[in-house]
């Protein structure tokens, strides 16, 4: 595809998909699919046309952006009934922004390549606010032709676009390493907030001091206030579901095991998310993991 994309489809309007769609609507004609009516209505109010199926959204699109939760949702959105595969034509581009692991990305690319559809493996990181302002980190695995076709879309979404390698799956490898750090940092932030509370310190005072010094991290500054809120009655706002890290840490630990690289901190963080999921927090914001370490009612 020699021309810049004019029509973009976004499949999935969750915590990341919705702000990405509205960001892209500033520069492209965007059609999106989302099964949850409330999210679809939000997108429609911000310049995004909504469709009844992924196939309908992808019809005529130059670039299809997949912003689904996991591999199962991706398989359904692309290859299931009413999926993208029914209407996308050869030479068009599918951009996978979800964290699904390198093996899944390669499998999707192989299946779409049989149709002549280009695939860009481009998982994103940065959170909903940065997604809405085009300030994401995008790590890419793609052949030069596919990358060139998707580049205008990627550049509109990300302030940092790092090309890791020429093959789908390459971006997923680096994203898994990113999630190793993110998952460990959230777990460490939770331990710090829980410990401060457990020894009788005011969590807000402790958080303010910690974020001002060398112990600070992005995750402490971002999740820390929500962890404190979890102790003060909580909030209905969900910026990142806890079960996302259950999925992502499984990808991380599986990849590390295959490479015979020990990641004891990653495994410990994985267990904490699993405990939280078993406690019924899977659909809650990931900051609520702090309540597993020091229950809110204590």
Q: How many CA atoms lie within 13 A of 174 on its CB side?
A: 20
Q: Name the CATH superfamily for 7-167.
A: NAD(P)-binding Rossmann-like Domain (3.40.50.720)
Contact 32, 51 (CB under 8 A): yes
Rounded CA separation 266/168 (Å): 24
Q: Are strands 136-141 and 124-125 parallel, antiparallel or unpaired?
A: antiparallel
- Read off the pLDDT of each residue in 215-225 and give the average, rounded to a whole number: 96
Rounded CA separation 286/269 (Å): 12
Query: CA nearest 241: which of 251, 255, 226, 262?
Result: 226
pLDDT band at 3, cuts 50/70/90?
A: low
Does the active-site annotation cover 175?
yes
Q: CA 97, 62, 33, 113 torsion: positive or negative?
A: negative
Contact 235, 163 (CB under 8 A): no
**pLDDT of 1 over the 60 cut:** no
Fold identical between 7-167 and 173-293? no
Sketch the domain layout of the chain as residue ranges.
7-167, 173-293
How many percent of the chain have pLDDT more than 70? 98
Q: How high does pLDDT run on average in the chain?
A: 95
Q: Tell me the per-residue pLDDT of 87-102, one tens digit each, with 9 for 90 and over.
A: 999 999 999 999 999 9
Contact 82, 55 (CB under 8 A): yes
Name the CA radius of gyration of the chain, rounded. 20
Rounded CA separation 203/178 (Å): 27
Rounded CA separation 278/7 (Å): 42
Contact 78, 57 (CB under 8 A): no
Contact 20, 153 (CB under 8 A): no
Rounded CA separation 160/252 (Å): 22
- Read off the pLDDT of each residue in 270-296 and give the average, rounded to a whole number: 96
In angstroms, what CA-CA distances link 31 with 6, 58, 61, 69, 138? 11, 8, 8, 19, 22
- Read off the pLDDT of each residue in 184-198 and give the average, rounded to a whole number: 98
**pLDDT of 238 over the 90 cut:** no
Specify which residues 140 forms β-bridges with: 163
- Read off the pLDDT of each residue in 74-91 and give the average, rounded to a whole number: 97
What is the CATH code of the structural domain delimited by 173-293? 1.10.1040.10
Both tokens assigned to 283: 């659909």
């Amino acid at each position: 595809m020699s021309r810049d994309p004019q029509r973009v489809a976004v499949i999935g309007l969750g915590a990341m998909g919705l702000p990405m769609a509205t960001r892209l609507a500033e520069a492209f004609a965007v059609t999106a699919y989302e099964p949850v009516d409330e999210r679809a209505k939000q997108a429609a109010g911000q310049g995004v046309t909504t469709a009844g199926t992924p196939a309908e959204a992808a019809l005529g699109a130059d670039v299809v952006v997949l912003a689904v939760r996991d591999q199962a949702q991706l398989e359904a959105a692309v290859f299931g009934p009413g999926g993208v595969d029914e209407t996308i034509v050869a030479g068009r581009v599918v951009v996978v922004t979800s964290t699904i692991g390198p093996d899944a990305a390669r499998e999707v690319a192989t299946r779409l390549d049989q149709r002549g559809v280009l695939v860009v493996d481009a998982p994103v990181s940065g959170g909903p606010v940065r997604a809405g302002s085009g300030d994401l980190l995008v790590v890419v695995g793609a052949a030069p032709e596919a990358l060139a076709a998707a580049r205008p879309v990627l550049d509109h979404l990300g302030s940092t676009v790092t090309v890791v390698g020429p093959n789908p799956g390459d971006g997923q490898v680096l994203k898994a390493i990113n999630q190793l750090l993110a998952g460990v940092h959230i777990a460490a932030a939770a331990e710090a907030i829980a410990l401060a509370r457990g020894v009788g310190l005011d969590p807000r005072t402790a958080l303010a001091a910690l974020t001002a010094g060398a112990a600070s991290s992005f995750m402490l500054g971002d999740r820390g206030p929500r962890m404190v809120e979890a102790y003060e009655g909580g909030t209905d706002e969900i910026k990142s579901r806890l079960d996302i890290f259950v999925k992502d840490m499984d990808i991380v630990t599986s990849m590390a095991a295959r490479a015979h690289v020990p990641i004891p901190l990653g495994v410990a963080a994985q267990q904490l998310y699993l405990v939280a999921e078993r406690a019924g927090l899977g659909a809650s914001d990931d900051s609520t993991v702090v309540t597993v370490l020091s229950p809110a009612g204590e």
